[in-house]
Amino acid sequence: MEDKGFVKSRFGGITEDRGGRRKKFYVITALGKRMLDAQYELRNSIYKQIPKISFG
């Protein structure tokens, strides 16, 4: 997703709590937010096409 420009990442500081390893932080980009919203709308439109089935 980072290669596609949907998110950006950065490394945090090294801490002893993590055994000397750094955390990696991710932030969604404006493009990523637009793509996420588009996929959400697509999923909802497909879901709404499923007929309501009552088992009662």
Are the beta carbons of 40 and 48 closer than 8 angstroms?
no
Q: What is the pLDDT of residues 2-52, one digit of tens each?
A: 999 999 999 998 888 888 889 999 999 999 999 999 999 999 999 888 887
Against a cut of 0.85, is the pTM above it? no
Task: Tell me if 39 is assigned to some domain.
Answer: yes
Question: Is residue 1 domain-resident?
Answer: no
User: Residue 8 in 3-state DSSP?
Assistant: strand
Show the domain range for 22: 7-48
Q: Looking up tokens 């998110």, which residue turns up? A: 7
> What DSSP state is assigned to residue 45?
H
Asked if residue 2 is part of any domain, the answer here is: no
> pLDDT value at position 56?
66
Number of domains into which the chain is organized: 1
CA 30 – CA 37 distance, rounded (Å): 11
In a domain, 24, yes or no: yes
Question: Does 18 map to a domain?
Answer: yes
